[in-house]
């Protein structure tokens, strides 16, 4: 009697088994990889804004402090986007006839808000609070990157939970003096300085769920 | 009738899965899987940020502002502080500076924010249902003005607003022929009539319970159904806080037919039919005046008492006599520091007798005093039923709902419809609106400017939290238009009228505080007119019927004004824990006599001899502790207007209200033989000898070592295989804990509503409550102890106990419920996969599961608290100790580099509680109330034997019964 399975079926079985193992592995690994890809996290993806606002110019060339426009960052969960009247504080003097800021003048005239596009977006079950981070020595650049080098702002980091926890597990290396919060370039001179900052801010590990999820 | 109809708020049942063929099922499943794949392909959704164009200087986006204003009910103001997120009011809390609130709120006050955003509110001016212009209203009012008010009838809700009163007086001066009526079905009338009888003037009774050592409540729900209920609850509780067995405690007697929150905290409760209260009042007067205080018993009284007592039922229960004697003894011992209070459903003579007893005891000027009525023309004919009669040519109904909430024999709906020109101003397209020609959207309390007085007379300014959502008009705007002088703006009108009527009172300062300090009405000197009173006493106690009905305002929806509010419909009624319905409350014995059980429908009928049908078919609900041969039926249901939530729920009690029979008529009940499933949240009321709701007497706590040992056993360490909880607590962070005092808790459910409002807990609808799927994180369990004849209810707020050794945490496969460093049992919704293991393993049954997507996407969602996640389908949720408030306080404290203040964190339930029965704080702070209360001898942990070591502890229910007289 001829063999039920010809010899090549051995190879076929091996290939099928390997493919099956590969499929199962990739079914697990692929979402993990995908969730970390910039495509999923939105990192590096500049948003088209109603006004081509250039942070490079305002931050680097004009040396306007972050908190001049995002003033609520110190006292509110939200850093805030400036009201049209804040922009016009300068721009009714300079570049006041520019077509680029026509939406701004329209907003101030009609009272209708400008529809800025959100760049850094956290899920609704995450309660991030700017005020505590800013007041406890976490600089703007730590999360938002070198905004002073961005023409159109994009998200730099993953903003995933594991990324948050990297710092929440050990905040000390990320701390900076209160007066250097908005600095884009400050770095600690020595581990001793970092340790002193951690002591100054009473920095502590905060990893229980209700720190952020409520 | 709607016996079997489920409410439309019920969760969807899905697309008829039972009818689906197997093939169709797989087709749908495949399509679903494919769709899910496509959904995952999308990158992040675009989301807008909308900054202000011109940012108001006081607004910081993300940080709520708080404004003081007031809610007004039947003319009486209760001060509130409302949180506003960038112009969106989201939550009410009591105003500590307001005498009618003292910082607490009623359940229905909490729910006001949902009514504000009710998508079914009247949205535009209509003329017989067709949208109309304001000019049509102007013409209507101009025509009425041109006739000098001839044939004009204006029906308003009772008002205490100095600003509205000024307008009414101006209208009366300009249009002398105009007639005014003031109508609210449950506005106090009997009290004013009774005081007129006893004191010669229609005066309003004021109570100060801060010094009251003995209180007798005669059918008076002092702590829940009174314009000053919040203040009363606080004052009574302050005299009843037990620190140890040597604490001084007041003694509270409740004489009532239904089981009210006042009855729950009473030391002695006499359950009697409503009509028997008269007899008891007479007996009490006789006993008190016989105590030999000088000048306390005029001769005229003897004859009257003899006449009244001659009619007493020969077989009057001895139990009553003993209790009455004990009451009189305790009142006498506390003369000058005692109170006899009467509920407004009782006839005037009982109020008169109470005034006389208080006078005889020397309480006047101390615990009881009298003021002029706060409400304009209260006690005068314009507030009577008769003022609603008449055939006006122009009828203006400015608020209220008289077509529904009035004696049925008046036939007001027909009478209103007969009026040639009629206008209704109100929030809803209700029964009265449907009878009127023109409907003008009214203003919610949170949308308007104005003023009102609290029950004690305190002037309370009202300010809007938001622009009118639906082009609403105020009562004042209509009256101004009637005068032909429309004001520029509501604010200008209010400011100008305030300056005229209240000169020298700074409006801005009053707005900032929410009340004008020192503006309470002065006490009026009174003298009991015994000779006028004697004939009334002689005639008292003649009322009696085999079966009596008490038509009572529903504790939450009141007279029907809040029936379109799903929060309030789903809030379990305290005595019966019934939701989404009203039912005839009666005692087990009465039910047995009728041969009915809970849910059986009886036809209640009041004999009236007019052409109207005074029959109501209502389900029965058995309430242990209810008086025998009496039925309590809550009003506010059986609504027939355009409000879609309210429509078709329950049966209107007002159909049984006749001008002759009043609100406590004789009634016949006939079982109909059919049945309606009632959505009751707790059906088993026996403690089964388990250590859940513990209690005893003050005497036991002082002298009974066995009782104290038993309580101590319920908090002392247990042998355990698990590692013991590592104490003592570290100094930082705070260690949060709660303490709930069962002695002062009345079970009024203000905390339950506050919790739902704070934590965005969804409404699930009647059908899901029937499936035991209600979502309230905090519930009030009600147990019945005592004998079958004298049942005693014990109420216990029950919520997540935040166990140190939490059984839920061990069984969660995904660590969605974990323990925080500061002692919270955390629930992380985004981790939860909905196994429900945690709920099954929770001995307290306090976890709630989202069986469906209950999210309300209507305008209602504006009432959501932005600091709390709105949960999706398939996740477990439960009390978090208001973790969002804790984290907020923590962040504020850390930014300011200080420790969290002892009383800085207040949970929503704690803030709402009028009796301050809930304490919250840190165990690491020795000054905190919870730390102190944990050291008390009657502090215990529920189900301590389970070894869960709950962070929430209870103070056992301590009563202070007197020795038998």
Asked if A36 and A125 sit in the same domain, the reply is: no
Question: What domains sit in chain B, N to C, each tagged with a CATH number?
Answer: 126-187+377-513 (3.40.50.740), 190-371 (3.40.228.10), 545-680 (2.40.40.20), 695-715+736-959 (3.30.70.20)
A85 contacts in chain B (CB < 8 Å): 52-55
Q: Does any domain span residue A189? A: yes
**What's the gap in Å between the CA of B95 and the closest CA on chain A?**
25
- Of A88-92, B611-615, B644-648, the poorest mean pLDDT is in B611-615
The structure tokens listed for B622 are 């058995």
**What's the gap in Å between the CA of B190 and the closest CA on chain A?**
50
**In 3D, which of B367, B346, B373 has the Cα closest to residue B196?**
B373
Residue B658 bridge partners (DSSP):
B662
At residue B389, the pLDDT reads 86
Q: What is the pLDDT of residues B916-938, one digit of tens each?
A: 999 999 998 889 999 999 999 99
At residue B106, the pLDDT reads 94
At residue B532, the pLDDT reads 85
Nearest to A124 among B63, B869, B884 (CB): B869
**In 3D, which of B665, B542, B551 has the Cα closest to residue B279?**
B542
Q: How many CB atoms lie within 10 A of CB B764?
A: 28
**What's the gap in Å between the CA of A153 and the closest CA on chain B?**
14
A110 contacts in chain B (CB < 8 Å): 53
- Tell whether the torsion through CA atoms of B729, B734, B735 and B737 is positive or negative: positive
Q: Does any domain span residue A107? A: no
Length of chain B: 965
Asked if A75 and A37 sit in the same domain, the reply is: no
Phi and psi at B803, nearest 5°, equal -65, 140
Asked if A77 and A183 sit in the same domain, the reply is: yes
Asked if the Cβ–Cβ distance from B55 to A86 is below 8 Å, we say yes
Asked if the Cβ–Cβ distance from A209 to B61 is below 8 Å, we say no
**What's the gap in Å between the CA of B486 and the closest CA on chain A?**
28
At residue B919, the pLDDT reads 96
Q: Does any domain span residue A139? A: yes
Asked if A35 and A123 sit in the same domain, the reply is: no
Q: Is the pTM of this model over 0.80?
A: yes
Nearest to B818 among A80, A131, A209 (CB): A209
Asked if A77 and A33 sit in the same domain, the reply is: no
Residue B785 bridge partners (DSSP):
B792
Can you point out the beta strands (E) in A55-172?
116-117
Asked if the Cβ–Cβ distance from B53 to A136 is below 8 Å, we say no
Nearest to A83 among B44, B55, B883 (CB): B55
Per-residue b or e along B794-810, where b marks 16 or more CB atoms closer than 10 Å to that residue's CB = bbbbbbbbbbbbbbbbe
At residue A212, the pLDDT reads 93
Asked if A18 and A77 sit in the same domain, the reply is: no
| B334/A13 Cα distance (integer angstroms) | 97
**What's the gap in Å between the CA of B888 and the closest CA on chain A?**
9
Asked if the C-beta of A180 comes within 8 angstroms of chain B's C-beta atoms, the answer is no
Q: Which residue has the higher pLDDT, B630 or B538?
A: B630
A118 contacts in chain B (CB < 8 Å): 46-49
B54 contacts in chain A (CB < 8 Å): 83-85, 108, 111
**What's the gap in Å between the CA of A117 and the closest CA on chain B?**
5
Q: Does any domain span residue A156? A: yes
B63 contacts in chain A (CB < 8 Å): 75-77
> Nearest 5 degrees, angle CA B965-CA B216-CA B77?
170
B907 contacts in chain A (CB < 8 Å): none
Q: Which residue of A has its CA nearest to B881?
A: A214
Residue B370 bridge partners (DSSP):
B205
At residue B2, the pLDDT reads 38
A134 contacts in chain B (CB < 8 Å): none
Asked if A150 and A192 sit in the same domain, the reply is: yes
User: pLDDT > 70: what percent of chain B?
Assistant: 92
Please report, for residues B383, B398, B452, the alpha-carbon distance to residue B425 in angstroms, rounded to integers and kept in the order given: 19, 5, 19
Asked if the Cβ–Cβ distance from A108 to B61 is below 8 Å, we say no
Confidence of residue B46 (pLDDT cuts 50, 70, 90): low
- Indicate if the pLDDT at residue B367 is higher than 50: yes
Asked if A24 and A127 sit in the same domain, the reply is: no
Asked, as a colleague might, if the bond just before B728 is cis with ω within 30 of 0, I would say yes
Q: Which residue of B has its CA nearest to A135?
A: B895
Return mean pLDDT, chain B: 89
Asked if the C-beta of A95 comes within 8 angstroms of chain B's C-beta atoms, the answer is no
Confidence of residue B319 (pLDDT cuts 50, 70, 90): low
What's the Rg (C-alpha) of chain A? 25
- Of B17-26, B211-220, B505-514, the poorest mean pLDDT is in B17-26
Note down the domain range covering A32. Answer: 13-41
Q: Give the best residue of A80, A129, A210 to mutate against chain B (max B CB count within 10 A).
A: A210
**What's the gap in Å between the CA of A43 and the closest CA on chain B?**
10
Q: Does any domain span residue A31? A: yes
Nearest to B62 among A72, A123, A132 (CB): A72
Q: Which residue has the higher pLDDT, B869 or A44?
A: B869
Could you tell me if B401 and B432 are in contact, meaning their C-beta atoms sit under 8 angstroms apart?
yes
Nearest to B48 among A117, A127, A209 (CB): A117
Confidence of residue B459 (pLDDT cuts 50, 70, 90): very high
At residue B253, the pLDDT reads 95
**What's the gap in Å between the CA of A96 and the closest CA on chain B?**
17
Asked if A28 and A77 sit in the same domain, the reply is: no
Asked if the C-beta of A185 comes within 8 angstroms of chain B's C-beta atoms, the answer is no
At residue B848, the pLDDT reads 95
Q: Does any domain span residue A181? A: yes
Residue B684 DSSP label? -
**What's the gap in Å between the CA of B952 and the closest CA on chain A?**
19
Q: Give the best residue of A80, A119, A214 to mutate against chain B (max B CB count within 10 A).
A: A214
At residue B8, the pLDDT reads 42
Q: Which residue of A has its CA nearest to B821?
A: A208
Asked if the Cβ–Cβ distance from A132 to B869 is below 8 Å, we say no
What's the number of CA atoms in the CB half-sphere (13 Å) around residue B738? 31
Strand order in the sheet with B736-741: B918-922, B736-741, B952-955, B939-940
Q: Give the best residue of A40, A67, A209 to mutate against chain B (max B CB count within 10 A).
A: A209
- Tell whether the torsion through CA atoms of B27, B28, B29 and B34 is positive or negative: positive
Q: What is the pLDDT of residues B778-802, one digit of tens each?
A: 999 999 998 888 899 999 999 999 9
For B200-267, the DSSP string reads SS--EEEE-GGG-SEEEEES--TTTSSTTHHHHHHHHHHTS--SSTT----EEEEEESS--HHHHH-S
A136 contacts in chain B (CB < 8 Å): 894-895
Q: Which residue of A has its CA nearest to B817?
A: A209
Spatial CB neighbours of B555, under 8 Å, sequence gap ≥ 6: B107, B108, B224, B225, B573, B574, B634, B748, B749
Q: What is the mean pLDDT of residues B415-438?
A: 92
For B363-399, the DSSP string reads -BTTTEEEE--SSTTTTSGGGSGGGG-S--SEEEEES
User: pLDDT > 90: what percent of chain B?
Assistant: 72
Q: What is the pLDDT of residues B505-518, one digit of tens each?
A: 999 999 999 999 99
Q: How many CB atoms lie within 10 A of CB B946?
A: 17
Asked if A76 and A165 sit in the same domain, the reply is: yes
Q: Which residue of B has its CA nearest to A89?
A: B54
- Tell whether the torsion through CA atoms of B266, B269, B274 and B277 is positive or negative: negative
Q: Which residue of A has its CA nearest to B59?
A: A72
Q: Which residue of B has its CA nearest to A41?
A: B44
| B245/A27 Cα distance (integer angstroms) | 67
Nearest to B883 among A39, A86, A210 (CB): A210
Asked if A25 and A123 sit in the same domain, the reply is: no
- Indicate if the pLDDT at residue B11 is higher than 60: no
Q: Does any domain span residue A74? A: yes
- Tell me how many residue pairs between chain A and chain B have CB atoms under 8 A apart: 122
**Could you tell me which residues of chain B have a Cβ less than 8 Å from any Cβ in chain A?**
43-44, 46-55, 60-63, 818-821, 824, 826, 828-831, 867-870, 880, 883-884, 887, 891, 894-895
**Pairing state of beta strands B214-218 and B251-256?**
parallel
> Nearest 5 degrees, angle CA B677-CA B681-CA B686?
105
Asked if the C-beta of A103 comes within 8 angstroms of chain B's C-beta atoms, the answer is no
A213 contacts in chain B (CB < 8 Å): 826, 828-830, 869
Quote the number of domains for chain A.
2
Confidence of residue B296 (pLDDT cuts 50, 70, 90): low
**CA B864: distance to chain centroid?**
21
Q: What is the mean pLDDT of residues B389-411?
A: 90
Q: List for chain A the helix, strand, coil content (%; round to 5).
A: 50, 5, 45
Q: Does any domain span residue A94? A: no
A214 contacts in chain B (CB < 8 Å): 867-869, 880, 883-884, 887
Q: What is the mean pLDDT of residues B647-663?
A: 90
Asked if A143 and A202 sit in the same domain, the reply is: yes
Q: What is the pLDDT of residues B118-168, one digit of tens each?
A: 999 999 999 998 999 999 999 999 999 998 888 999 999 999 999 999 999
Q: Give the best residue of B40, B43, B62 to mutate against chain A (max A CB count within 10 A).
A: B62
**What's the gap in Å between the CA of A91 and the closest CA on chain B?**
14
The helix/strand/coil state of B863 is: helix
Confidence of residue B727 (pLDDT cuts 50, 70, 90): low
At residue B674, the pLDDT reads 93
Asked if the Cβ–Cβ distance from B826 to A75 is below 8 Å, we say no
B887 contacts in chain A (CB < 8 Å): 127, 210-211, 214
Q: What is the pLDDT of residues B480-514, one digit of tens each?
A: 999 998 888 999 999 999 999 998 899 999 999 99
The helix/strand/coil state of B338 is: strand
Confidence of residue B320 (pLDDT cuts 50, 70, 90): confident
Confidence of residue B5 (pLDDT cuts 50, 70, 90): very low
At residue B99, the pLDDT reads 95
ipTM: 0.90
**What's the gap in Å between the CA of A73 and the closest CA on chain B?**
10
Q: What is the pLDDT of residues B535-559, one digit of tens each?
A: 888 888 777 788 999 999 999 999 9
For B922-959, the DSSP string reads ETT-TTSHHHHHHTSTTEE-TTGGG---BSEEEE-EEE
């Amino acid at each position: 009697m001829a063999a039920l399975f010809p010899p090549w079926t051995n190879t076929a079985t091996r290939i099928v088994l390997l493919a099956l193992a590969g499929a199962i592995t990739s079914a697990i690994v692929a979402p993990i990889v995908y969730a970390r890809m910039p495509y999923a996290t939105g990192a590096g993806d500049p948003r088209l804004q109603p006004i081509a606002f250039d942070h490079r110019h305002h931050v680097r060339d004009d040396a306007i402090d972050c908190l001049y426009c995002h003033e609520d960052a110190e006292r509110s969960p939200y850093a805030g986007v400036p009201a049209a009247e804040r922009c016009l504080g300068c721009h009714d003097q300079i570049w006041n006839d520019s077509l680029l800021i026509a939406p701004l003048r329209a907003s101030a005239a009609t009272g209708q808000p400008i529809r800025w596009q959100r760049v850094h977006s956290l899920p609704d079950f995450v309660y991030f609070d700017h005020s505590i981070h800013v007041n406890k020595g976490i600089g703007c650049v730590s999360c938002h990157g070198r905004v002073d080098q961005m023409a159109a702002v994009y998200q730099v980091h993953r903003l995933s939970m594991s990324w948050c926890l990297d710092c929440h597990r050990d905040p000390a290396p990320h701390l900076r003096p209160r007066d250097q919060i908005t600095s884009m370039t400050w770095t600690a001179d020595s581990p001793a300085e970092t340790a002193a900052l951690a002591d100054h801010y009473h920095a502590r590990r905060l990893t229980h769920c209700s720190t952020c999820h409520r | 009738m709607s016996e079997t109809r489920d409410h439309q708020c019920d969760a969807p049942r899905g697309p008829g899965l039972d009818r689906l063929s197997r093939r169709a099922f797989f087709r749908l499943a495949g399509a679903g899987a494919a769709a899910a794949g496509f959904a995952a392909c999308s990158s992040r959704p675009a989301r807008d940020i909308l900054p202000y164009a011109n940012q108001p200087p006081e607004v910081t986006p993300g940080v709520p502002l708080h404004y003081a204003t007031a809610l007004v009910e039947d003319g009486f103001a209760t001060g509130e502080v409302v949180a506003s997120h960038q112009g969106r009011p989201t939550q009410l809390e009591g105003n500590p500076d307001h005498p009618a609130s003292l910082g607490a709120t009623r359940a229905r006050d909490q729910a006001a924010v949902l009514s504000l955003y009710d998508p079914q509110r009247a949205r535009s001016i209509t003329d017989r249902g067709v949208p109309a212009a304001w000019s049509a209203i102007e013409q209507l009012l101009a025509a009425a003005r041109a006739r000098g008010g001839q044939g004009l009838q204006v029906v308003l809700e009772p008002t205490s607003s100095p600003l509205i009163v000024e307008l009414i007086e101006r209208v009366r001066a300009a249009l002398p022929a105009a007639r005014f009526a003031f109508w609210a079905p449950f506005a106090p009338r009997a009290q004013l009539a009774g005081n007129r009888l006893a004191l010669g003037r229609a005066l309003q009774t004021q109570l100060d319970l801060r010094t009251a050592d003995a209180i007798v409540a005669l059918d008076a729900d002092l702590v829940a159904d009174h314009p000053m209920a919040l203040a009363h609850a606080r004052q009574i509780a302050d005299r009843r806080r037990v620190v140890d067995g040597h604490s001084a405690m007041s003694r509270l007697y409740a004489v009532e037919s239904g089981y009210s929150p006042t009855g729950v905290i009473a030391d002695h409760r006499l359950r009697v039919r409503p009509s028997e209260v008269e007899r008891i009042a007479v007996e009490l007067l006789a006993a008190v005046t016989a105590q030999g205080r000088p000048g306390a018993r005029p001769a005229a009284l003897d004859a009257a008492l003899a006449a009244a007592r001659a009619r007493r039922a020969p077989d009057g229960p001895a139990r009553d006599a003993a209790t009455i004697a004990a009451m009189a003894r305790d009142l006498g011992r506390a003369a000058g520091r005692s109170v006899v209070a009467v509920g407004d459903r009782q006839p005037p003579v009982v109020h008169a007798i109470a005034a006389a007893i208080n006078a005889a005891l020397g309480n006047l000027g101390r615990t009881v005093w009298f003021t002029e009525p706060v409400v304009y023309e209260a006690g005068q004919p314009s507030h009577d039923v008769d003022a609603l009669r008449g055939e006006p040519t122009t009828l203006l109904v400015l608020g209220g709902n008289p077509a529904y909430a009035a004696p049925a024999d008046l036939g007001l709906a027909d009478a209103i419809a007969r009026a040639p020109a009629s206008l209704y101003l109100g929030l809803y397209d209700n029964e009265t609106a449907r009878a009127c020609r023109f409907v003008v959207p009214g203003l919610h309390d949170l949308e308007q400017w104005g003023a009102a007085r609290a029950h004690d007379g305190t002037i309370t300014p009202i300010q809007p939290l938001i622009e009118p959502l639906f082009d609403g008009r105020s009562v004042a705007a209509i009256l101004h238009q009637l005068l032909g002088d429309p004001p520029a703006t509501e604010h200008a009108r209010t400011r100008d009228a305030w300056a005229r009527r209240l000169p020298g009172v700074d409006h801005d300062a009053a707005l900032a505080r929410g009340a004008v300090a020192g503006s309470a009405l002065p006490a009026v000197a009174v003298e009991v007119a015994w000779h006028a009173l004697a004939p009334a006493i002689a005639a008292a106690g003649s009322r009696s019927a085999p079966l009596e009905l008490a038509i009572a305002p529903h504790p939450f929806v009141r007279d029907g004004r809040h029936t379109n509010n799903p929060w309030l419909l789903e809030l379990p009624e305290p005595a019966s824990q019934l939701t989404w319905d009203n039912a005839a409350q009666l005692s087990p014995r009465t039910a047995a006599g009728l041969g009915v059980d809970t849910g059986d429908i009886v036809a209640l009928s009041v004999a009236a001899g007019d052409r109207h049908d005074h029959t109501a078919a209502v389900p029965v609900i058995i309430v242990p502790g209810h008086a025998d041969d009496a039925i309590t039926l809550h009003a506010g249901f059986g609504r027939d207007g355009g409000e879609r939530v309210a429509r078709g729920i329950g049966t209107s009690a007002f159909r049984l209200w006749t001008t002759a029979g009043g609100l406590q008529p004789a009634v016949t009940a006939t079982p109909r033989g059919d049945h309606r499933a009632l959505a009751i949240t707790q059906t088993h009321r026996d403690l089964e000898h388990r250590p859940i709701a513990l209690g005893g007497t003050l005497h036991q706590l002082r002298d009974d070592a066995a009782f104290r040992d038993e309580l101590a056993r319920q908090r002392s360490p247990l042998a355990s295989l698990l590692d013991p909880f590592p104490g003592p607590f570290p100094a930082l962070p705070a260690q949060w804990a709660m303490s709930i005092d069962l002695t002062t808790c009345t079970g009024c459910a203000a905390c339950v509503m506050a919790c739902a409002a704070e934590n965005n807990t969804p409404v699930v609808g009647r059908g899901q409550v029937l499936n035991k799927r209600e979502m309230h994180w905090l519930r009030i369990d009600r147990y019945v102890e005592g004998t079958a004849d004298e049942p005693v209810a014990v109420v216990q707020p029950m919520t997540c106990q935040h166990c140190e050794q939490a059984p839920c945490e061990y069984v969660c496969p995904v660590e969605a419920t974990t323990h925080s460093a500061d002692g919270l049992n955390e629930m992380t919704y985004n981790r939860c996969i909905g196994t429900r293991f945690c709920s099954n393993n929770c001995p307290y049954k306090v976890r709630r599961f989202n069986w469906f997507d209950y999210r309300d996407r209507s305008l209602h969602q504006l009432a959501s608290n932005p600091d709390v996640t709105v949960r999706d389908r398939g996740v477990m949720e439960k009390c978090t100790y208001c973790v969002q408030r804790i984290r907020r306080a923590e962040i504020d404290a850390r930014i300011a580099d200080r420790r969290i203040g002892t009383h800085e964190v207040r949970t929503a339930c704690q803030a709402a509680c009028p009796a301050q029965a809930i304490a919250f704080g840190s165990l690491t702070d020795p000054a905190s109330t919870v730390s102190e209360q944990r050291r008390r001898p009657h502090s215990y942990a529920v189900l301590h034997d389970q070894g869960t070591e709950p962070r929430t502890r209870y103070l056992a229910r301590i009563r202070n019964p007197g020795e038998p007289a």
